[in-house]
Amino acid sequence: MQIDWEPLVQAAHKVREHAYAPFSKFRVGAALLTADGRIFTGCNIENRTYGLTLCAERCAIAAWVAAGSPGHPQALVVHADLSPPARPCGLCRETLAEFTKDLPILLTNPKGERDLVTLKEIFPQPFEWTGPAHGR
Ligand code: THU
């Protein structure tokens, strides 16, 4: 499938402005494209306990799941002010792997740098146990 990255990049830029990051001041935006053509966005949401911080990628996944998980994840853009562009953290990689075997991920920053990776590349060995009650 040919990914039209530009609307996703724009969506990640826009949602990054909504980040709640008073502690780190490091704002992150994520935009998830699903097979039905919809875009689900997320930003990081920090917490004074620090440990409760929600990353932008998991926020986007949460928005998609809360909408009923329509369409399979097709592509993800992550936008943050880091050079080279920021990679998703381990928690986010594991969360993405829960819902997709592989996913093209475009990492961008305000300088216009872009790195295209795949989930498989950056997270080759997910936890694979599915559990006795897996499925919906
Ligand atoms: N953050 C993300 O939103 N995504 C990641 O993959 C890594 C880190 C956020 C969490 C925290 O609010 C800030 O970036 C600094 O770690």
pLDDT at 17 over 60: yes
pLDDT, tens only, 35-85: 999 999 999 999 999 999 999 999 999 999 999 999 999 999 999 999 999
Per-residue confidence (pLDDT) for residue 136, from 0 to 100: 57
Which one from 6, 17, 46, 57 is the annotated catalytic residue? Answer: 57
Tell me the pLDDT band of 129, cut-offs 50, 70 and 90.
confident
The rounded distance, in Å, linking the Cα atoms of 89 and 1 is: 26
pLDDT, tens only, 1-15: 799 999 999 999 999
Contact 41, 7 (CB under 8 A): no
Per-residue confidence (pLDDT) for residue 135, from 0 to 100: 61
- For ligand 1, residues with CB inside 6 Å are 21, 24, 26, 28, 44, 46, 53, 55-57, 88-89, 92
pTM across the whole model: 0.95
Per-residue confidence (pLDDT) for residue 59, from 0 to 100: 98
How many whole angstroms from 36 Cα to the centroid of ligand 1? 28
Report how far apart the first and last C-alpha atoms of the chain are (Å, whole number). Answer: 27
Is 57 noted as a catalytic residue in this protein? Answer: yes
pLDDT, tens only, 86-118: 999 999 999 999 999 999 999 999 999 999 999
pLDDT at 134 over 70: no
Per-residue confidence (pLDDT) for residue 46, from 0 to 100: 98
CA-57 nearest atom, ligand 1: 4
